[in-house]
Homo-oligomer: A and B are copies of this chain.
């Protein structure tokens, strides 16, 4: 009889993605910790530096995060003095997130972070773009399939 041929984490696409995500988190941690930031907080700041005054939902959409995650995260950014949160005058349901001077100043202080991470990745720009595109496409496919019950006969990623 043939061996069970079980999928092992080390061989699985899902696990490669899972552990690479943790590896990125660990790479960012020392760079961001000296400013008291976490990686998800840094992502939110990137969005705000590009477009200040977004609502919680507008920030959550590109990050695929909801208010359950963002509300406490934003509260921490607020108590650290990086942002302010104010109800929208036009629609009081919404909360607009605005950078403080301190929050804006962080952009310059963290300007070298992308280069440091790029160095840690150690990949030519072209390959980096190509790999990023393939993983983004993977995410899109997974999100598209999610919710619909699955019982096909794929390869066990």
Contacts and interface: CB of A to CB of B under 8 A. Distances in A.
B31 A14 contact: no
A52 to B, nearest CB: 12
Nearest to A136: B16
A93 interface: no
A120 interface: yes
A13 interface: yes
A20 B63 CA distance: 11
Contact of A20 (B47, B120, B142, B154): B142
Nearest to A114: B156
A117 B64 contact: no
Interface of A: 4, 6-28, 30-31, 39, 43, 46-47, 49-50, 62-64, 107, 112-123, 125, 128, 131-132, 134-136, 138-139, 141-143, 145-146, 149-157
